[in-house]
Amino acid sequence: MSIIDPSKGKGETLNPENWGKDYADYLFRYALVRLRDRQGAEDVVQETFLAALKGKDQFKGLSSERTWLVGILKHKMMDYFRKPSRELPVSGLITSEDPPEEFFDLNGKWQVKPSSWGDSPMDALEKKEFWKTFEACMSVLPGRLAQIFALREFEGLKNEEICNLFNVSTTNLNVMLFRSRMRLARCLETNWFGKKAKGE
Amino acid sequence: MLSCKEAAALVSESLDRKLPLGQRIALRMHLLFCRFCRRFSRQVLFLRGTADRVRGEKEGEEPPVSDSLSAEAKEKIEQALKTHSESKSKP
Ligand SMILES: [Zn+2]
């Protein structure tokens, strides 16, 4: 079937021969940030390419080749999360029943008080070094927390969608999101902002 | 009056859903008086900002992660692509 698609105007065509070279690393990083599981990310990338080959007649050339591949990758990532047999990456089994973390004392007061991150914390986003720190902080989150944070914040999934995917209650999910944010914030504070702006 | 623990949890929740009026007011009252929770609130917004940036990678920039595929994995993928495109491309 080689129907000429009139919408394929702008020279957006598929070149599967080059996918490995052009997109494998990109897609892998994309998946790794979200799955936090190297093997899983590699598998998902491979499945994406195979699915893309199979479905290449559906490519309408409306988006770039890469965007199209990312679309397929997203589906494959959701399949990954749905697979019940999948083993979680190390330390993945975090639930809200795990020992409470020491952010607050028994009266609910801050144990370690958040410090100021300066007047323009957003400037950090322009720095390569910051992203290294960010990545390191993501990587010390327990696997499940990191996955949930990534799905909520990077993929923009709704809370209900994540609850269904992982089969957790809304209350549990709220707790886990809270913890992941808290941990990330503390980690960035210690390893980035604390080092930049001493004082206060 | 909310404790800081409760207030911070609501700060986090408010990123995921619209809080009911009562909680919203209670939270606002707490934030008015508590600069630590105000800071935490700015910090989670910062996190959202980083996430927006990571999401923005779709068009344009690279994901802010330095890792890349292992050589073996790449080899495997190249191989799979090759065999599959060969077996498929016959009309
Ligand atoms: Zn407070």
Q: Which residues does B56 contact at the CB level (< 8 Å), separation at least 6? A: none
Q: Which residues does B63 contact at the CB level (< 8 Å), separation at least 6? A: A26, A29, A30, A33, B54, B57
pLDDT in tens, A178-192: 999 999 999 999 999
Segment A5-16 shows an average pLDDT of: 62
- Phi, then psi, of B79 in degrees rounded to 5: -60, -50
What ipTM does the predicted assembly reach? 0.78
What pTM was computed for the model? 0.75
- Based on the fold, state whether residues A170 and A95 are members of the same structural domain: yes
- Based on the fold, state whether residues A179 and A108 are members of the same structural domain: yes
Given a cut of 80, whether residue A94 has pLDDT beyond it is no
Q: In terms of residue numbers, what domain contains A11?
A: 3-85
- Based on the fold, state whether residues A187 and A92 are members of the same structural domain: yes
Instruction: With cut-offs at 50, 70 and 90, classify the pLDDT of residue A91.
Output: very low
- Based on the fold, state whether residues A59 and A144 are members of the same structural domain: no
For B58, the closest of A70, A107, A153 (CB atoms) is A70
Last residue of a domain, one of A38, A60, A85: A85
Pick the residue of A104, A130, A170, A173 with the most B CBs within 10 A to test the interface with B by mutation.
A104
Q: In terms of residue numbers, what domain contains B11?
A: 4-89
**Cβ neighbours of B53 in A, within 8 Å:** 125
Please report, to the nearest 10 degrees, the dihedral formed by the alpha carbons of residues A47, A88, B44, A115 taken in order.
Answer: -130
- Based on the fold, state whether residues A54 and A76 are members of the same structural domain: yes
- Based on the fold, state whether residues A113 and A26 are members of the same structural domain: no
Given a cut of 90, whether residue A110 has pLDDT beyond it is yes
**Cβ neighbours of B67 in A, within 8 Å:** 28-29, 32
- Based on the fold, state whether residues A96 and A8 are members of the same structural domain: no
B18 touching chain A per CB within 8 A = no
Chain A residue closest to B91 (CA)? A1
Last residue of a domain, one of A85, A116, A142: A85
Q: How many CB atoms lie within 10 A of CB A191?
A: 16
Task: Tell me the CATH number at A120.
Answer: 1.10.10.10
**Cβ neighbours of B36 in A, within 8 Å:** 110, 113-114
Contact across the interface for A185 and B40, Cβ inside 8 Å: yes
- Based on the fold, state whether residues A160 and A135 are members of the same structural domain: yes
Min Cα distance A153 → chain B (Å) is 6
Greater model confidence, A92 or A161: A161
Give the ranges where B1-91 is alpha helix by DSSP (H). Answer: 4-13, 21-33, 35-55, 71-88
DSSP A85: T
Task: Tell me the CATH number at A14.
Answer: 1.10.1740.10
- Phi, then psi, of A85 in degrees rounded to 5: -75, -15
Number of domain units in chain B: 1
Segment A98-117 shows an average pLDDT of: 82
- Based on the fold, state whether residues A68 and A94 are members of the same structural domain: no
- Based on the fold, state whether residues A130 and A73 are members of the same structural domain: no
Number of domain units in chain A: 2
Tell me, in angstroms, the distance from the centre of ligand 1 to residue A178's CA. 15
Whole-number pLDDT of residue B23: 96
pLDDT in tens, B30-42: 999 999 999 999 9
Whole-number pLDDT of residue B30: 97
DSSP string, B14-30: TTTSPPPHHHHHHHHHH
Last residue of a domain, one of A58, A85, A112: A85
**Cβ neighbours of B13 in A, within 8 Å:** 174, 177-178
